[in-house]
Amino acid sequence: MESLLSFNRVLLFGTGAVGGYFGAFLVKNGAGVTFIARGARLEAFRNNGLILKNDGGYQEKLSINVMEKPEGLYDLIIFTVKSKDTAQAAEICRDHLAPGGVALSLQNGVDNVDILSRVFKPDSIVGGVVFAGISMPCPGTVLYRQEARLTVGALTQAGKKYEKPVCALFLSAGVQCGISDDIKSFLWKKLVWNIMYNPLSAVLGGTCGDLVSNVHTRRVMEAMGAEVIAAAAANGVILPDNILEKELALAPVFHTYKTSSLQDSEANRVPEAAELIRPVIRLADAGRISAPVCKTIYDICEYKFGRWFHTFPGLAADVLVINGNKALLIERKNPPYGWAIPGGMADYGEKIEETAVRELREETGLVINTEELNLLGVYSSPERDLRGHIVSVIYYAHSGQTPVAADDAKNAAFFDLNNLPELAFDHKKVIEDYKKIMKGGKNSYPPC
């Protein structure tokens, strides 16, 4: 290794949302990064590169070096795999860390640095704590709500010589990065948040805002957080007195955020929900602490995700209301913001055409009958809604009624079909499909 400040060869093992995000920033800064990926992600990276985007409209496509397995020696190996895969990933990389190289864990959980130390020299290990709102809505695409913050720290006193070079690498790439003198304390602090939010969100299907705003789930979260604080104390880590209050005071930008465990569950991947709780369970089983709430949620996670499970796409209905050469649109109150065709999620036991007329009435005040609906198409791309996989049955109808915005709509108005505002979701395509049908084009009915 020529210089610790350059890290000429970097291996990124684990190319989900977190790995993709940090890898993208390093690549943009000219670092020689090799991504390890498999399956759909490997195919997406090879065919389309890595797409980095945010809620503000920024999007960039990056060409990256991606492989199925490491080759040669690397100055820095960054692990971003799920905790359950750390041991296997470390074994695969055992012979690929250059002499004097660094193994960096940017993972949730408190056990990963210890697992890495069984394979690599403890003096070569640096732990990291990530604070971010990152998701991978589809293979190869990384979406972030705000720029991530990173704190790093060596596992041993001798390893502290690596802290500044690692930090400098990320700072030079535009990533906020700091150094902790006690990285294990930082890992336990992050575990409080992870255990309060990740398992419940995966089991209940709720966003972070859903969980903290409900009195029942908030009570469970507080109890779980208190048990994590006790577990940290049993490991000699004393956490701040106000940590629960701080972690439950969710910033507005994260109210609609889906935890990594919920993202995995919705994608039919096994989340690391139970794995995150396991350090607390070990202490409880050894009689060192009492953790009845964590044990209950742990058992539920093991039942739900410890076997085959399946999560289905959500079902919605929308109505494109036409008045002459104008289309009715609503301006959304909630993310994703922008103008959209009126519509919403189907209720259990409701016919989809009933959903369409109900949502139209609730959002705009327009009253039409199901008999007035005409099927435009079924839109089912997993990428059409960044909040999750939503299949929408879209109808069109004609009405000259005056709209009044209500429910999820901030405004409601008719727009000329040839002079539309910026549209959310895939609604620009929907309206283009409608115009084709009206013209009697060859593509009369859009594919699902």
> Residue 244's pLDDT is what?
96
Confidence category of residue 443, pLDDT binned at 50, 70, 90: very low
Tokens of 285: 């089983």
Tokens of 15: 């190319």
Is the model's pLDDT at 135 over the cut of 50?
yes
- Which CATH number among 3.40.50.300, 3.30.420.110, 3.50.50.60, 3.90.79.10 corresponds to the domain 314-439? 3.90.79.10
Confidence category of residue 446, pLDDT binned at 50, 70, 90: very low
Tokens of 336: 């994703």
> Residue 127's pLDDT is what?
97
Return contacts of 33-37, CB within 8 angstroms, 24+ apart. Answer: 33/64, 33/65, 34/9, 34/10, 34/65, 34/66, 34/67, 34/70, 34/74, 35/64, 35/65, 35/66, 35/67, 36/11, 36/12, 36/66, 36/67, 36/68, 36/69, 36/70, 37/66, 37/67, 37/68
Mean per-residue pLDDT, 98-119: 95
| Residue carrying the six token digits 């995995």 | 264
Q: What residues does 66 pair with on adjacent strands?
A: 35
Domain boundaries, the chain: 10-181, 188-305, 314-439
Confidence category of residue 3, pLDDT binned at 50, 70, 90: very low
- Given CATH 3.40.50.720, say whether it is the number of domain 10-181: yes
Burial class of residue 32, CB neighbours in 10 A (0-12, 13-18, 19+): middle
Is the model's pLDDT at 442 over the cut of 50?
no
Name the 3-class secondary structure at 59: strand
pLDDT, tens digit (0-9, with 9 covering 90-100), for 273-306? 999 999 999 999 999 999 999 999 999 999 999 8
Give the rounded percent of residues in the chain with a pLDDT score beyond 70.
97
User: Containing H/E element for 138?
Assistant: strand 134-138
Question: Which of 66-75, 119-128, 163-172, 303-312 bottoms out in mean pLDDT, i.e. has the lowest?
Answer: 303-312
> Residue 253's pLDDT is what?
81
Are 202 and 261 within 8 A, CB to CB?
yes
pLDDT, tens digit (0-9, with 9 covering 90-100), for 162-172? 999 999 999 99
Would the CA dihedral through 54, 60, 62, 66 be positive or negative? positive
pLDDT, tens digit (0-9, with 9 covering 90-100), for 136-160? 888 899 999 888 999 999 999 999 9
Q: Which residues of 270-300 are buried (b: 16+ CB within 10 A; e: fewer)?
A: bbbbbbbbbbbbebbeeeebebebbbebbeb
Distances 97 to 75, 89, 169, 397 between C-alpha atoms, Å: 6, 12, 18, 63
pLDDT, tens digit (0-9, with 9 covering 90-100), for 400-417? 999 999 888 999 999 999
Is the model's pLDDT at 5 over the cut of 80?
no
Is the model's pLDDT at 2 over the cut of 50?
no
pLDDT, tens digit (0-9, with 9 covering 90-100), for 77-93? 999 999 999 999 999 99
Mean per-residue pLDDT, 388-400: 94
Is the model's pLDDT at 448 over the cut of 90?
no
> Residue 382's pLDDT is what?
85
Average predicted confidence (pLDDT) for the chain = 92
The 10 Å Cβ neighbour count of residue 116 is: 27
Distances 32 to 2, 127, 222 between C-alpha atoms, Å: 14, 21, 43
pLDDT, tens digit (0-9, with 9 covering 90-100), for 299-344? 999 999 988 777 788 899 999 999 999 999 999 987 778 899 999 9
Confidence category of residue 378, pLDDT binned at 50, 70, 90: very high
Residue 157 phi/psi, 5° resolution? -65, -40
Q: Is the peptide bond before 336 cis (omega within 30 degrees of 0)?
A: yes
Q: Model's pTM, two decimal places?
A: 0.74
Q: Give the whole-angstrom CA distance, residue 179 versus residue 150.
A: 9
Q: Helix axis angle, 273-285 relative to 183-204, nearest 10°?
A: 120
Which CATH number describes the domain made up of 188-305?
1.10.1040.10
Confidence category of residue 389, pLDDT binned at 50, 70, 90: confident
> Residue 6's pLDDT is what?
64
> Residue 224's pLDDT is what?
98
